[in-house]
Structure 1
Amino acid sequence: MLFYRYKNTMVGKLAMLQLINKDVLNKIKEELERYEVKLGDFLTKGTTSIIFLGKYRGKDVVVKVSRDDSPRKNLKKEAEILRHLRGREITGDLILYTTVGGREILVREYVPGEPVLLVTPSKKHILKIAGKTFVLDKLGIDHGQIQGGKHILLTSNDVYIIDFEKGSLTRKTRNLTSALSMLFIGNNSISKRVREKFDIDEEFIRELKLRLREYKEKKEIRGLFDLLSIL
């Protein structure tokens, strides 16, 4: 989810107050303080949650509060997925999952970076994206929104995958194939930038499709990484 800092704009304040009133917000603040979490700036609203920055023991965190007007309650499922990913450096570790007045609240470590939707990845980034999406596949966790590019964040030396609200522990995993299709094959702004940067030709695309097919059928990963290593 892209973060836009709305807190100093009247539009942002009104948008937040329409989704959550002050009394509820104060109750949430009180509950979070019991766990040493301090609620900070309002960042943005998602389809199912309201997003804030916060602090936990001096570290930046992201606080998600479920929206009353959303028919879906996804934060408990996301918390379960984050527990499976704890310590793997794929996403921000789970700090807390709780509820206040029927609203779900999830607190996770803040991870930095710019979305691949907006920033062209380096070879190092592409290898890390492939590696981390492969780990998700091996763990049986399907993100569900990899192909959009908003949930893969790039730093100077690393890659993080965020927002598992639509993730699944039972669905067939397609993280690696979705990520590489987005980066190289699909007709989108990301693949256009990547193909131009690395001077990708049709032979490379044909070979990539072949090795993706091998991965789907046999879970053979070496051929994919060998191909990506020549970028």
Structure 2
Amino acid sequence: MTMQVLVLSPRVAPGILTLAAWDALRGASTVRAGVDDPHVRAIADSGVAVEAGTGSPTYEPGTVWIAPTGDATWARRVADDLMGPDGGERPVEVVFGSYDLPGSGLLDVVDVMDRLRRECPWTAAQTHESLARYVLEEAHEVHEALEEGDSEHVREELGDLLMQVVFHARIAAESRGWDVDDVAAGIAAKLIRRNPHVFAPETLDHVPTTADEIDAQWQRIKLTERASDPYSHPH
């Protein structure tokens, strides 16, 4: 029999697992977990008996060991250690019980900013006005990194600029009636409206196919939006 190590995403609601994960849990002779968290409790609440594990997992055929939530590296290291140098006589399988969707890392940024806003005196004291100069500074640093052509530097600077977006949205959530979800929803809706050749080609008399045609379409739609709402700030 195979021992299995189950990996769960912290960004997916507890109890939402893949069919492979449920099959592994319900078919196991023993299910162990080294931590007690909402994901483990949800599994136990479903009727699966979960035993508390202590120390490092030992090789137990037929056992499912639930990895610390989100720690795929731990799961793979444990699996490699349990299988031994030959990797064949003691089969261990890593089972992914839930997966992160593309962009799910943004949830971590929002969560970190929420905690900083609550617990860090400096972060809590900031306002839109006190942070305004940093938006410009970070945008300039992104531009410089792009001109340098250093991909890792670009990634780092884009992260700093993203922090400013999340920071301002977090402040706005406290006083202005909108938050980071509204920011994301707004730009998603704009991208859909401004790109009908992708999202609604059936509504067009002519579907643009060149970059110049698509740019001209964007500008026409922007002007139409501005005419219908002169107090908006379409870009």
User: TM-score normalized by structure 1?
Assistant: 0.26
Q: Which has the higher strand share?
A: 1
User: TM-score normalized by structure 2?
Assistant: 0.26
Structure with greater Cα Rg: 2
Q: Which has the higher helix share?
A: 2
